[in-house]
Amino acid sequence: MTLSLKKMLAIAVLLGSCAPALAQTYPDRPIKFVVPAAAGGPTHITAQLLADKMQTALGQPVVVEPRPGAGNNLGAEFVAKSAPDGYTILLATIGTHAINQTLFKHLPFDPIKDFEPVSLVVKYPLLLVVNSEVPAKDVKELIAYAKANPGKLNRASGGNGTSMHLSGELFVKQAGIDAPHIPYKGSAPALNDLLGGHVQLMFDSILTALPLVEAGKVRALAITGKVRSPLLPNVPTVAESGLPDYEANGWTGVVVPAKTPPDVVAKLNAAIKTALKSPDVQSAMAKQAAEPVGSSPEEFAAFIRSETDKWARIVKDAKIQVE
């Protein structure tokens, strides 16, 4: 019995010594950077920009691997179940780590327990646009028009549970108006119906809506973030426009499987912060209407908890559920 206990203690000591050894040699092979969205989209572009700079800082290739599907859940599940050694990392989204926990009835991973936060990467504010026939020229006029004309404003989005959808839910709740939600299979068909006057307003990505705004086909009323976008400096934020507590951003950040050694997390965090400070990355992200952030793991963990609580209330109030 005593010998068995000694053996068990020896094994425990040996296993405990593996983490510092891993951290000292990390990384000594390529890192897989999983993106839970399709190649070519803004999430994939962000990951590629980050990966190109991170591999310089880390001295090993950082290979971006798109794993789209199931509302971003397939890629997140894959990383949650990967070895906690820092060689498989995830570009987490507002979906995987804030919305989906409440939105989906059965989620195959726990966004809090199954991951270690590394750093918040970027925020993506959205743009509130209206059909050119809507008489409102700003948010205050839109709210007044909606209250004076109940049932005349329909609100489009690129799909149930998307940041476009929930940004609108937050808006109508704070504004105290009725603007029924009409979900579409993507932003493009929603914008087409906005142009045709079948729906009257929409929260969409700045990049997607910008060409239509510049062409005068839709009217931009407000930015959903806390600061104005350099791409549309004359368009105020929703908070500036009469709803001071309003803020809604899409966002991405890097997480790793739970129990990844703290020193490995620290090395990844340093590489991400270095990448985000690069003038090349900042310029490229500005063109994507993205705001580079960077944070400590602790700050990102607190941010995830805050965003989870915020969007859980909106999802529950709106009674949104995805199987």
Binned at pLDDT 50, 70 and 90, residue 10 comes out as low
Q: Is the pLDDT of residue 41 over 90?
A: no
Q: Is the pLDDT of residue 14 over 60?
A: no
- Report the C-alpha gap between 25 and 16 in whole angstroms: 16
The DSSP bridge pattern shows strands 249-257 and 88-93 to be: antiparallel
Query: What is the structure's pLDDT at 193?
Result: 97
Query: What is the structure's pLDDT at 151?
Result: 83
Q: Is the pLDDT of residue 20 over 90?
A: no
Beta carbons of 255 and 159 less than 8 angstroms apart:
no
Q: How far is CA 19 from the centre of its chain?
A: 30
Beta carbons of 186 and 158 less than 8 angstroms apart:
yes
Domains of the chain, each with CATH number or no CATH: 31-124+249-317 (3.40.190.150), 125-241 (3.40.190.10)
Q: What does the chain come to in residues?
A: 323
Stretch 253-275: mean pLDDT: 98
**What pTM, to 2 d.p., does this model score?**
0.89
Query: Is the C-alpha dihedral spanning 114, 117, 122, 124 positive or negative?
Result: positive
Q: Terminus-to-terminus CA distance in the chain, angstroms?
A: 51
Stretch 97-112: mean pLDDT: 94
pLDDT single digits (tens) 122-159: 999 999 999 999 999 999 999 999 999 988 999 999 99
